[in-house]
Structure 1
Amino acid sequence: MKKAKSRIAILGTGGTIAGFIDSTIATTGYTAGAIDIDVLIKAVPQIRDLADISWEQIANIDSSNMCDEIWLRLAKKIAKLFAEGIDGVVITHGTDTMEETAYFLNLTIKSDKPVVLVGAMRPSTAISADGPKNLYNAVALVANKEAKNKGVMVAINDKILSARGVVKTHSLNVDAF
């Protein structure tokens, strides 16, 4: 008997992972939050092998513009999704305020279901964009039954970090956390 796939919602908030610049070699000078979440998901079709995916664009901003209103919208949306039976949530997010959002959600989400924030250090239009692999890893993490009861996490650059301990230490390096 084939095992049912996890139902995972991906919520887009913008950031470098959704960044755009009219050059495939540029990794700075881009516009963050320029690419919609559906485009990011289409760029990684392999995630559909991991889970049944739904998505929603919550915001599409440079994460330096993250605010309480968006944090509250995220927390309420996640609570609603969990009440509706979603198994886990991935949030695409800019790295400038990823720690703050992860910590806020860790304090406000009352569920054993996984919530994982994911971002990128290079825009989606770069030859060496890191967002697609990071998104795949985040979905794989949420789809794994071992991710339950771990609190809010960050998945970036092949690392899994807790919301309570995540710290960004570099503004340009791919290994920024």
Structure 2
Amino acid sequence: METHEAEANQVVVLGTGGTIAGTAADPGDNVGYQAAQLGVAQLVSAVPALAAVSLACEQVAQLDSKDMDFATWRQLAIRVAAHLAREDVAGVVITHGTDTLEETAYFLQRVLAPKKPVILTAAMRPATALQTDGPQNLLDAVAVAQDPQASGVLVVFAGVIHAAEQVRKAHSYRVDAFVSSDGARLGLVEEGQVRWVQGLGQARPGVGLEVLPTAAKDWPRVEILLNHVASDGRLVRALLAQSTDDKPGGLVVAGTGNGSLSQDLEAALREAQAQGVRVLRSTRCDAGPVTASADALPSAGALSPVKARVELILQLLNESKS
């Protein structure tokens, strides 16, 4: 039985950049800013209440999350695992950009499946804004990281606690930009107090750090396609026509409704399958699973297209190691 709750009291804050670390020349400008300008130690020092918490800071990366890459993912996973292995660490908080936060959260959950909490947080407004949201989000994230009931990879944003598998960025501008599919939020942070509204659920096992290649070129190529009116298979066949080194190892298709596909697109995807390309069928809808069927292409379940892509990348990596 693990006893880290009784022994651990330190929270490690890992910085990766994003809007939460962004600055603008005009405090009234919430759009024309430069992301990833402030270090994580500066973000922590801007929240006076965190002075009472045992914290350690580490800058893992400094980028706009639209530019997140495999090398940064691998390094972040390694650093998270290293800190979680320490007996004095209660949990890890990661400051991140909002654009690809949901992908990073799912990636870390599937690679590490941590027992201790790993909390991702971010901001929709830069640190220099008149009403910046980053400091409160960071304070809330640390509160959840210290909570004895917290475990696994979670997203804390605008006072709401989300699971890595269900969270999605649903708005391009509002400060409450994230939602959980089917209303599956886990809890709330209210004036520093964590209130859970449902259980964390059963986490999938982690694939482990050892499946992650060192070189970005060794990560499998997985592309996302979209079903729409007059969708055909030309993009699929163009991908299949590429050289062996450039051909994708997997394709995720965001179908309409319950993962439905046009006849032409489905035919092309089945051609891809016949050539050894793995295919997962997701939905372009904001919520709801894709029903599995023996006659249909494989379902991604309730994963969004971008998370289905992460899942397929990790499956391919895991299979290549076995």
Q: TM-score, normalised by structure 1?
A: 0.93
C-alpha displacement of 1:125? 0.3
Query: Does the CA-based 8 Å contact 1:99-1:166 persist in structure 2?
Result: yes
Q: 1:100: how far off?
A: 0.3
Measure, in 1, the Cα distance between the counterparts of 2:177 and 2:154: 16
Q: Could you tell me which residue of structure 1 aligns to residue 49 of structure 2?
A: 46
Q: C-alpha separation between the residues in 2 aligned to 1:147 and 1:110?
A: 13
1:57 to 32, 45, 59: 59
1:124 matched to which residue of 2? Answer: 127
Deviations 1:95-127, CA, capped at 9 Å, x for gaps: 000000000001011431000000000000001
Q: Distance in 2 between matches of 1:29 and 1:137?
A: 26
2:37 matched to 1:37? no
Contact 2:154 2:161 survives alignment (8 Å): yes
Aligned match for 2:69, one of 67, 70, 77: 67
The amino acid of 1:101's aligned partner reads T
Q: Kindly indicate whether the alpha-carbon contact (under 8 Å) linking 1:20 and 1:124 is maintained by their aligned counterparts in 2.
A: yes
Alignment of 1:1-177 (within 5 A): 6-49=9-52, 51-85=53-87, 86-148=89-151, 151-177=152-178
Segments of structure 2 that go 5 or more residues without pairing to the other structure are 1-5, 179-322
Corresponding letter in the other structure for 2:169: K
**Cα distance in structure 1, aligned partners of 2:40 and 2:46:** 10
Inter-partner Cα distance in structure 2 for 1:10 and 1:71: 16
User: What are the superposed Cα offsets for residues 22-78 of structure 1, whole Å, 9 maximum, x if unpaired?
Assistant: 1111100100001111110000121232x3100100111100000111111011111
- Number of positions where the alignment pairs a residue of Structure 1 with one of Structure 2: 172
Q: Give the unaligned 5+ runs of structure 1.
A: none
Q: Which runs of 4+ in 1 moved over 4 A?
A: none
Match of 2:213 in 1: none
- The change in CA–CA distance for 1:13 and 1:32 in structure 2 (over 3 A counts) is same
Residues 89 and 14 of structure 1: is their aligned pair in 2 closer, same or farther, counting only changes over 3 Å? same
Q: Helix, strand or coil: the match of 1:74?
A: helix
User: What SS does structure 1 have at the residue aligned with 2:149?
Assistant: helix
Measure the CA separation in 1 of the matches of 2:119 and 2:104: 11
- Kindly tell me: are residues 4 and 82 of structure 1, through their superposed partners in 2, closer, same or farther at Cα, counting changes over 3 Å? closer
For the residues of structure 1 that align with 2:62 and 2:142, how far apart are their CA atoms?
Answer: 20
SS state at 2:173 partner: coil
The two structures, once aligned, show a CA RMSD in angstroms of 1.3
Q: Using the alignment, how far apart are the partners of 1:28 and 1:161 within structure 2?
A: 25
2:114/2:153 contact within 8 Å kept:
no
Return the alpha-carbon distance in structure 2 between the equivalents of residues 101 and 166 of structure 1. Answer: 11
1:4 shift after superposition: 7.4
For CA contacts below 8 A with separation 6 or more, give which structure has more relative contact order: 1
| Counterpart residue type for residue 86 of structure 2 | E
Could you tell me how far apart the structure 1 residues matched to 2:160 and 2:68 are?
23
8 Å CA contact retained: 1:47, 1:140 = no
Query: Whole-Å Cα distance in 2 between the matches of residues 5 and 131 of structure 1?
Result: 26
Task: Between 114-123 and 79-88, report the one with greater CA deviation.
Answer: 79-88
- Largest Rg, 1 or 2: 2
